Structure 1
Amino acid sequence: MTTESLTERVVAEPAGAARDAAFDHALDVLRDRRDEFNAQRYVPRDFIGLLKRAGMYRASTPTEFGGEPMAPADFMSKVESISAVDPATGWVSSFGSSLVYFAPLPVATQKKIYADGPDIAYAGGLFPMQEAEKVDGGYLCSGVWQFASGCRGADIIGIGLSGGPQTEGKPLTALVDPADVEIVDNWDVAGMKATGSHAVRADRLFVPEEMTFVRGGTPLIDEPLTRYPALAYAAQVLAVVTLGAARGALDYALEVGAARTSITGGASKGNRPAYKSGLAVAEAELRSARAFFYESTEAVWAKAIADKHISTDDKAMLRLSATHAAHTGRRVVLQAFDLAGTGAIYETHPLQRYLQDALVPAQHAMLQTNTYEAAGALMLGLDAGIPSFP
């Protein structure tokens, strides 16, 4: 891959009022087009361009290469705002954090990737990890990789390779030009439709060794964001999508409950005791989970800025708060669905967007129920029992 082969770059607006306006504009466009994205099952490249203008795809590019790294809490609050409008688009935007994975690449390779600008959209189809043929200067890669979220709008795609003695058995990610792989249109799902998490296929594709790295490997760029735990961050940016979905669902429930009358002309839903108490409990649960989530994030980020040791316990709290956010957010959306009554069963109902999408993050391997057990094991000084946890 060469920088010339990457798609045409879109540049972020200057930081400050112009970039804030670009972000607000992207949200306005999303409100108008979210049904379109859902129907076509991917977020298109032109909208990825709007997110680039809003700074979402330079948020994890190192400062050394022209990036403007965002504090994790700041970046995730933006993902949360996008997800409150459309969770699937929030999921795609969350991969603006994933350029931290590139930090273990040779510095010369990183310079080449960012040579034409820091605003890069990355998509990873990492599983199942495939055995690649080692040849002079790199690898010949063949296989099919699943779940490449955002691949139709990506500048670079990562594919997962099984590691060997040279990586101490740790898996590799190989970076490839989207034009060199086939997108296999197999994203036929009930939730997160617009993420476009299709599979990618390659047949004896040569990837230079310098375009491969160990995910979560030792960074060769030392900045606060490269010190922040990369795998925990990967779980967090997905979990925060559910917090945004829950916010969107509760805002809808509040709007409907505040109406003066119901559809039948009787007392408004909001005047029913079950509606009032259900809404209040859901609000309290969401705010509590959100507070734990961001509190854990800020505590570890402070250590990253100060270049202090980030312990296993610190990482475990990041993972625990992420899992809790995903599962609590899902319950809150279900509560909003319950409050809405029979009308919410229709496919065209506004809550269906949040319901279908909010069920998905907690299904992800990094956020499934067993990660509660893994976090508890670490709190007790035991083995987590899950690879690469925390």
Structure 2
Amino acid sequence: MTLINRNTTRPPRSMPVGEIREALRQLEDTVAEQRADFDAAGQLPDELFDSLADLGLFRLFLPTALGGHELSALDFMDVVEDAAALDGTIGWLVGNGGGMGRVGGFLSETSAREIFDDPKAFIVAGTGGLGKVVATDGGVRVNGRWAFGSGSPHGTWFSPVCEVYEDGVASGRKVLVYAPRKDVFLHDNWQVSGLCATGSVDFEFRDVFVPDRFVHDFQPKPSHPGKLYRLPTLSIFPWTVATVPLGLARGARNEFLRIASQRKRRGDSLALAERELVQSELGRIDARLAAARVYLRQVMTDLLEGVEAGADLSPLRVRFRMGCTFASESALWSLDRITEIAGAVSILQRFPLERYERDARAAAKHLAMSSVAYINGGKLALGQELPLSGY
């Protein structure tokens, strides 16, 4: 496949979701050829990143008026799941980068265009920490360090969570700020066992000036119509990554199907595909993944309907976070079963199963998929008081 010239200056065109998904499938051979080099570099090759950018995969939620795809939440899920089935790093970066396209629905048009007129625009989110913001003439001064800056090596803008300080005292007000790459210091500390090529290093702001037009509340007032931009920030963040483990489980399942008709366990005369135990396990895996996927889509649908109706979102948000966690747990359970029936081939680095498993375990460590969600779900069912935040 022909990769994209990094000097391209034209923003990607908006495409129907089916066309985006087909274009992702066309990258399969390229990814397979380059995957072995991902981990050593700790980031995607520039040419592959540019191919993803050229498809507009980092502007999935960006309004079409600003050159984005403006996908629905459910179409977004389909695309991210496809990307993760292709490769965990790609799924993670498409989820994070494509999800951050939503900021075009919060900033002024002028500010949003300053970011997204760059066809390679990728906004790195900073939720793994809390920075310090102090007001100054025309803007704010920002200091802080944030962990897990996914996509930092290719990041063009960085958007961390901060707290506003007044007279040296934390005010409790949280904001999001935006600064270009030139103002940000990256720490080379992403040495991990899974999602190795996401480049999720720490990044730091050292007394960075941010103009007022690049600052807004953590729960912003939308500048663009649409239910998506009115979703709670603590719900839209999890949505951008919660489907990644499901995609990884699907990718592992498909890889197992590819090898099952040829491979035999040592001492067994039947290929894996001919064994009833394997057939039974695959049936269970398909049922569990399908159930988790339907549940996740339903709780997001319910949440969107609640936003539209102006309903009390607390119970909907609790159930939504349970859906995120259940999807992750179901993916890990499925991967456990797949690697068990596959045998020793699942630990060999030259086969994709090994990578799918460790990427999924890394993704599932994200706070968005914490088992704390079940505690809140239980409290909700029992009619007990819910915590004030965290979901």
Instruction: Provide the residue aligned with 2:3 in structure 1.
Output: none
Distance 2:49 2:386 in 1: 37
CA contact (8 A) 2:60 2:70 kept: yes
Partner residue, 1:326: 328
* 1:324 positional shift: 0.7
Give the corresponding residue for 2:373. 371
TM score, norm. by length of structure 1? 0.87
Structure 1 position 29, deviation (Å): 2.2
Matches for 1:247-326 after TM superposition, within 5 Å:
247-259=250-262, 261-262=264-265, 266-301=269-304, 307-310=308-311, 311-326=313-328
The answer to whether the 8 A contact 2:252-2:353 is kept is: yes
| Structure 2: runs of 5+ lacking an equivalent | 1-6
CA contact (8 A) 1:10 1:52 kept: no
**Residue type of the alignment partner of 2:220:** G
Q: CA deviation at 1:250?
A: 1.3
Q: What is the CA deviation profile of residues 241-278 of structure 1, one whole-angstrom value per residue up to 9, with x for unaligned ones?
A: 00011001111222332337556673212333432222
Q: Mean Cα displacement is larger for which, 144-153 or 20-29?
A: 20-29
Cα 1:145–1:117 shift into 2, 3 Å: closer
Q: CA RMSD in A?
A: 2.8
Q: Identify if the C-alpha distance between structure 1 residues 265 and 314 changes in structure 2 by more than 3 Å, giving closer, same or farther.
A: closer
Displacement, 1:120? 3.3
Question: Which residue is equivalent to 1:169?
Answer: 172
Which residue identity is paired with 1:127? G
Change in CA separation of 1:315 and 1:38 when aligned onto 2, cut-off 3 Å:
same
CA distance in 2 between counterparts of 1:237 and 1:167 reads 29
What corresponds to 1:338 in structure 2? 340
**SS in structure 1 opposite 2:367?**
coil
Structure 1 gaps of 5+ residues are 1-6
Q: Structure 1 156/24 Cα, relative in aligned 2: closer, same or farther at 3 Å? A: same
Partner SS for 1:55:
coil
Letter of the 1:295 counterpart: Q
The answer on whether the counterparts of 2:24 and 2:82 sit within 8 Å (CA) in structure 1 is: no
Could you tell me how far apart the structure 1 residues matched to 2:388 and 2:341 are? Answer: 37
**Alpha-carbon distance in structure 2 between the residues aligned to 1:67 and 1:323:** 29
**199, 206, 209: which one pairs with 1:206?**
209
Partner secondary structure for residue 120 of structure 1: coil
Deviation, 1:235, is 1.0
Alignment partners' CA distance in 2, 1:8 and 1:156: 18
Mapped contact 2:106–2:229 kept (Cα < 8 A): no
Q: Distance in 2 between matches of 1:10 and 1:194?
A: 27
Q: Which residue of 2 aligns with 1:126?
A: 127
Give the secondary-structure state (helix, strand or coil) at the position aligned to 2:130: strand
Q: Distance in 1 between matches of 2:164 and 2:224?
A: 23
Report the 3-state secondary structure (helix = DSSP H, G, I; strand = E; otherwise coil) of the residue aligned with 2:172. coil
Evaluate the alpha carbon distance shift between residue 12 and residue 382 of structure 1 in structure 2; reply closer, same or farther with a 3 A threshold. farther
Q: Residues 62 and 105 of structure 2 are in contact (CA less than 8 Å); yes or no, is this contact kept in structure 1?
A: no
- Aligned twin of 1:51: 52
Q: Cα–Cα, structure 1 residues 81 and 263, in superposed 2: closer, same or farther, change >3 Å?
A: farther
Matches within 5 A, 1:1-390: 9=9, 11-13=11-13, 15-16=15-16, 22-95=23-96, 96-101=98-103, 103-106=105-108, 108-114=110-116, 116=117, 120-164=121-165, 169-259=172-262, 261-262=264-265, 266-301=269-304, 307-310=308-311, 311-385=313-387, 387-389=389-391
In the aligned structure 1, how far is the partner of 2:78 from the partner of 2:38?
22
Is the alpha carbon distance of 1:160 and 1:301 closer, same or farther for their aligned partners in structure 2, counting shifts above 3 Å?
closer
SS in 1 for 2:159: strand
Q: What's the offset of the Cα at 1:88?
A: 1.7
Amino acid at match of 2:237: A
Q: TM-score, normalised by structure 2?
A: 0.86
Q: How far, CA to CA, are the matches of 1:118 and 1:382 in structure 2?
A: 49
- 1:156–1:128: structure 2 CA closer, same or farther, 3 Å change rule? same
Distance 1:42 1:117, change over 3 A: closer
Query: Does the residue aligned with 2:173 lie in a helix, a strand or coil?
Result: coil
| 1:53-111 Cα shifts (integer Å, max 9, x gaps) | 22322321124434331011111111111111211210001020123245443555335
Question: How far 1:351 sits from its partner (Å)?
Answer: 1.0
Q: Which residue identity does 1:363 align to in structure 2?
A: K
Moved more, 219-228 or 185-194: 219-228
For 1:384 and 1:102, the matched residues in 2 are separated by 32
Amino acid paired to 2:190: W
CA contact (8 A) 1:187 1:196 kept: yes
Using the aligned pairs only, state the percent identity: 24
Matches of 1:326 and 1:248 in 2, distance apart?
Answer: 14
